[in-house]
Structure 1
Amino acid sequence: MPQPTLVIKGGRLVDATGVRSGDVVVGDDGSILAVGPDLDAPEVLDAGGCVVSPGFVDVHTHLREPGKEEAETIETGARGAAAGGYTCILAMPNTTPAIDSAAVVREVLELGRSAPCDVRTSGAITVGRAGEQLAPIAEMAKLGVRFFTDDGTGVQDTRLMRRAMEYASALDVVLAQHCEDDAMAGGGHMHEGEWSSRLGIAGQPAEAEELMVMRDIALARLTGARIHFQHLSTEGSVAMVRAAKDGGMDLTCEATTHHFTLTDECCATYDAVFKVNPPLRTADDVAAVRAGLADGTIDCIATDHAPHTPDAKEQPFDEAPPGMLGLETALGLALTELDLDLEEVVALLSWRPAQLLGVEDRHGGPIIEGRRANLCVFDPEEEWTVDADTMHSRSRNTPYAGRRLRGRVRHTLLEGEPVLRSGEVTR
């Protein structure tokens, strides 16, 4: 019989079943042994004034390993994830080499075994993410890979994308698309509009994203494939997905924290920390993304955590790589910036992405006896200031440095082990 090791005491439990008060006893087998009032165990984790929720799940994380370990490793990225309340993250395949074969999948999964977070990996849709030849999706699927994407680039060849969807349908896996038409976006470094004109920076029009969203909705309708749209950023994209869902299509999509908190005006300083792909858009686009999160058009919040070394981000705006950190600030940004109930925010960060990723057997489930103890404890009212120098990532490229946020993670439990205890990563 499993023995109790610790109790999370005095918290408010929030999960898909609702909100209630109670203590949570965790056993030495990594499971939840009991939930109720006035429970005891050898060790106490204080949750007074805090919310106890299922751990957060990120369906869009760049861990850079293999190949760009100077910016991030699986270990350092997972430490940042634990600090942000995440118990499961999905690594993107735009590494060097790309995660486009069973061998690289095995390498990433092995590197993640000792991490303070459950590290899953996606696989590339095409070999080398070059958009020319389908990757061995079935081989990667046999290793448990369920998400396939060429993230960083969209699959440009319509016929090839149709073949990928038909193949994916037979394997019951999800294709996740970075929606960007290269012919429209090529040479652009920020959103095309008033601010790109003022700054003299070549822009990417909203239509570069929207054309591919439109195409892939049509292809999904034709093939019956499960398609997931990554980091939607424009009003038009959100509207098209909403209409497709209203029409009965089984589509999913995500929005990042930066696309509901920042606009293209941030680029006025020419600071490349604000360069991201897809680019920061207009205030109307931000409002549309927020509305999509509120009405369920957008299924979950993703971070698109994209670390880069200081040298890379200190280059001129048009030469610097796109991307920004996201794992450690996601909760605070969502609670501070979104006009949503607490339960809705937790749903967007936890059980909805868990269901989308297919990990709801271990993550994002109800806090009840017998479930795995993958949990997050956070103070929804604590105010704190983002400090790039204290983040766990190897990189420092956060656009939120100095920003005051509300809501901070206190403890994170992975399989019953406190990998974040009182704000300190312990593994």
Structure 2
Amino acid sequence: MSEDKLAIHGGAPVRGRYLPYGRQVIDEEDIKSVIKVLQSDFITTGPAIEQFEADIARFTGAKYAVAFSSGTAALHGACFAAGIGEGDEVITTPMTFAASANCVLYQGGQPVFVDIDPLTYNLDPTLIKQNITEKTKAIIPVHFTGQPAELDEIIKIAREKKLVVIEDAAHALGAKYKNRSIGSIGDMTMFSFHPVKHITTGEGGMITTNNEKFYEKLLQFRTHGITRNQGLLRKNDGPWYYEMQFLGFNYRITDIQVSLGISQLKKIDGFIEKRKQLAEFYTKELGPIEEIILPHQLSHVDSSWHLYVLRLQLSKLTAGRKEIFQALQKENIGVNVHYIPVYLHPYYESLGFQKGICPVAESCYEEFITLPLFAGMDHRDVMDVVDAVKKVISHYSNK
């Protein structure tokens, strides 16, 4: 779109400085926590790792937690622990980042994409059974935007078919499903600590589980398949002895990173409360706009509000999503789109996936715009977003 066409909204942008859709919130206590580790004896594979794992386990109510170098690495570890291998099928949603399906491919498995619920944008439980075959090994529901998927229905299906449930909770640290904390429900749950998430370690991820066997496999998988656990060793030549018992990966996170996470986790309640307040303000201010559909919140879940996603009513607008997206960026609002359905990426097309298999997800993708939402936003920031949305939608309304 030309600059001239973008300028037709008139006047200067609603804000003079670009507002990103998400970013980390770092304070002096976080910095001091990192410095403390840098001045200690261990900067990797040290005691801070176990502390962070214990803190996350306590926060989520899980028995065990295993830290990884990224959320993707954590998902890979979960797929390994679940026994996913060559030819196994894993059901998941296309409305997610590619890692939710890539982790299956890493193990030689086959992702099976099931369409989403048109209200919540989460995996539709009513479609899961139709896609289960004798090759199905697991289900990976994604808690899109921080709103938990319908876990009771998904887990019931999984138990009937003897499948493993791996929750992708990259968006959902601090969320609850029927008053139960996400991280303590499924067989394994992955959290991400990327800078746009609720808390950050720079890069990093975590798997929580209540299953001791999964826990032991995860610990070993992130360290080349090596163990020093005397109960697992096949022989023992002495106190120095360790064994590589399978082909694992170097997916360790550092003490430097988790020292930031330990400090950040102390502020998690405040971060989530701020996100909820911002989301409530968006809903109040944007609710009357007929040309957009606001996020639908279920009464039995408590979202942690990682994202605030608008769905455009294109039939009521004179422009497509691309034009509206660019117009909002011209207002210095860092909107984004979550997500391109995974199977539409060229790599997945090369594997034989074709457009049309999940029509609801594809339709949503064409209509979604993600608004800025992070704990560091102030009232002026959120007002700027609201003003820009009203300005742009009003201009393109066909009323």
TM-score, scaled relative to structure 2: 0.25
Task: Please state which structure has a larger fraction of its residues in strand.
Answer: 1
TM-score, scaled relative to structure 1: 0.24
Higher relative contact order (CA 8 A, sep 6+): 2
Larger Rg: 2
Task: Please state which structure has a larger fraction of its residues in helix.
Answer: 2
